[in-house]
Amino acid sequence: MKTGLLHHVELYVTDLPKSLAFWGWFLEELGYEAFQEWEQGKSWKLEETYIVFVQVEEKYRNKPYHRKQVGLNHLAFHAASKAHVDEMTNRLRAMQVPILYENSYPFSGGRDHYAVYFEDPDRIKVELVAPKTV
């Protein structure tokens, strides 16, 4: 355990089954394992960090997330390699997940930053970044 690393992140989602299908696939591809599950939510854990998805309460459901407003803009994850980023990008395309900044892929984040950016079912931006060296 390293003091200061993220302990967990919790996201409220519009459509829990849809988010769980998407995030379950993505996180398990990155080595996360299912951690907690209950009627309104589920989490996946990798080492000491877990990510939780919770069904938003009905009364807040019609206030959509927008990444350009104040609050979370995106979540970024480490990929194993550039090839891993490419492979995941192809799979995301095949799943018809919206890829952001496609025309500058994989350098949308700059020439030294090999990454894919895409949207989760609530249009939260997600980034998968290759290490500098592989």
Please, are residues 130 and 108 in contact by the beta-carbon 8 Å criterion?
no
Select the residue whose beta carbon is closest to Zn ion and give its number. 76
Give the binding-site size for Zn ion (rule: CB under 5 A).
Answer: 2
| Interface stretch with Zn ion, choices 21-29, 36-44, 55-63, 126-134 (CB under 5 A) | 126-134
- The number of beta carbons lying within 10 Å of the beta carbon of residue 38 is 8
* 34 in contact with Zn ion (CB under 5 A): no
d(CA 114, CA 10): 26
Fill in the DSSP letter of residue 59: G
Residue 130, judged by CB atoms within 10 A of its CB (0-12, 13-18, 19+), counts as buried
For the bound state, the minimum distance from the C-beta of residue 129 to Zn ion, rounded and expressed in Å, comes to 7
Binders of Zn ion among 1-20, rule CB under 5 A? Answer: none
Helix (H) or strand (E) holding 125: strand 125-129
Q: What is the number of alpha carbons within 13 Å of residue 42 lying toward its C-beta?
A: 16
Q: Given the complex with Zn ion, which of 27 and 116 has the nearer CB atom?
A: 116
- Asked if 124 touches Zn ion (CB under 5 A), the answer is no
For residues 39 to 78, the per-residue mask of contacts with Zn ion, x marking binding by CB under 5 A and - elsewhere, is -------------------------------------x--
Say whether residue 120 binds Zn ion (CB under 5 A). Answer: no
The site for Zn ion (CB under 5 A) is made up of: 76, 127
